[in-house]
């Protein structure tokens, strides 16, 4: 018996804007069914663009997409506009970064959810509203019947995010794309949303791609983590592998920049020097080279992708040296 196709399989993905800005540069990514993979990295590393490419949401007239995108074995690049309309929401859904902007301000949240359900399924208004109410209860919105008739601006940030999750789940998709769902929320609400996503993934068997710049959040919800920089995946492995034995200098920099651990009072938090490269004027070689503490002459050439151990890879000339330093940096993150 052949095994089922992965929930998401991306191969050689490139996304170029305006013919010159390559925001995603040769990404390979596999999400197995029922698992969560986190894409982490600084702003501008290509995480959200990758997510939108999976649903083909980037503006068509200004965007050139190359490579392969398959969802449950289905070639997304070959879908017609009508097929895409059915695909979005029913097979793959997205939790957008800012629900106040993603939700329509002139309609109640309940109406937006019932319309999404009726767009994809032949159900009555009453049945769709009952489904919306059940979703509000599942995502733990207090006073769910009253909140169905609330407008987005009448809800708190955490409640809007829960409503956005309910909307994403309305048509029972198998793949959920979460684009920084805890951004702009206070720490307590962030934890609640992360725990909710983890529970939903377990209860519904969802496959989730979770985008974040917070390594701690990634560790909380993800089975695997892919570290992105300048449109490339520079390291990928299980959450345990990346936290305990990082093999890329950029991953180490992300670990060091966290406040957890034995940070002496009055000491300065470590940061990664410099800033991300200009994607419109890429230089050859490793894109992290100008900021890397291990950079050397050969880094002007593209680094090889090194298989560290099964399921763990890194794109660096000096993975062994990085690993020795990475074990020390790993102490700043709560063990997985």
- Give the sheet arrangement for strand 92-95, strand by strand: 92-95, 175-179, 207-212, 36-40, 224-229, 232-238, 312-315, 305-309
DSSP 86-103: HHHHHTEEEE-S-HHHHS
**What are the tokens at 209?**
């791609």
Q: What is the pLDDT of residue 264?
A: 54
162-165's contacts with Cβ under 8 Å and 24+ in sequence apart are 162/136, 162/193, 162/196, 163/99, 163/103, 163/109, 163/113, 163/136, 163/139, 164/95, 164/96, 164/99, 164/102, 164/103, 165/95, 165/139, 165/193, 165/196, 165/197, 165/200
**What are the tokens at 267?**
């000491």
Q: What is the pLDDT of residue 145?
A: 94
Q: What is the pLDDT of residue 263?
A: 52
Q: What is the pLDDT of residue 334?
A: 44
Return averaged pLDDT per consecutive 10 residues of the chain, 336 residues in all: 84 95 96 96 94 94 95 94 93 90 94 95 95 96 95 93 94 95 84 92 94 89 96 96 94 82 62 90 93 96 95 96 85 50
Structure pTM? 0.91
Q: What is the pLDDT of residue 277?
A: 92
Q: What is the pLDDT of residue 187?
A: 84
Whole-number Å distance between alpha carbons of 36 and 219: 11
Query: Alpha carbon of 166 to those of 12, 26, 134, 230: distances in Å?
Result: 32, 33, 9, 32
Whole-number Å distance between alpha carbons of 177 and 330: 28
Q: What is the pLDDT of residue 76?
A: 96
Q: What is the pLDDT of residue 332?
A: 53
């Amino acid at each position: 018996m052949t095994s089922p196709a992965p929930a998401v399989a991306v191969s050689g993905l490139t996304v170029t804007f305006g013919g010159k800005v390559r925001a995603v540069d040769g990404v390979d990514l596999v999400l197995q069914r029922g698992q969560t993979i986190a894409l982490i990295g600084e702003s501008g590393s290509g995480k959200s663009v990758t997510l939108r490419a999976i649903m083909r949401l980037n503006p068509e007239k200004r965007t050139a997409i190359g490579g392969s995108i398959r969802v449950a074995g289905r070639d997304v690049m070959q879908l017609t506009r009508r097929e895409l309309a059915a695909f979005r929401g029913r097979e793959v859904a997205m939790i957008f970064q800012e629900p106040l902007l993603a939700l329509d301000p002139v309609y109640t949240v309940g109406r937006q959810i019932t319309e999404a359900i009726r767009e994809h399924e032949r159900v009555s208004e009453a049945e769709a509203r009952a489904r919306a109410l059940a979703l509000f209860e599942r995502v733990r919105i207090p006073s769910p019947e009253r909140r169905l008739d609330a407008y987005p601006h009448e809800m708190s940030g955490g409640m809007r995010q829960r409503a956005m999750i309910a909307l994403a789940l309305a048509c029972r998709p198998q793949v959920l794309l979460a684009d920084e769902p805890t951004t702009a929320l206070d720490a307590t609400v962030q934890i609640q949303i992360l725990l909710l996503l983890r529970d939903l993934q377990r209860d519904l068997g969802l496959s989730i791609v979770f985008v974040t710049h917070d390594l701690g959040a990634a560790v909380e919800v993800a089975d695997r983590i892919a570290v992105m920089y300048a449109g490339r995946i520079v390291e990928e492995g299980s959450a345990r592998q990346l936290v305990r034995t990082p093999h890329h200098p950029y991953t180490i920099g992300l670990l060091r920049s966290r406040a957890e651990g034995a940070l002496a009072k009055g000491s300065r938090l470590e940061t990664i020097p410099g800033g991300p490269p200009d994607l419109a004027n890429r230089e050859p070689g490793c894109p992290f080279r100008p900021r890397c503490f291990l950079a050397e002459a050969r880094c002007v050439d593209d680094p090889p992708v090194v298989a560290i151990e099964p399921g763990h890879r890194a794109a660096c000339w000096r993975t062994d040296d990085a690993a020795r330093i990475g074990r020390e940096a790993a102490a700043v993150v709560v063990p997985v």
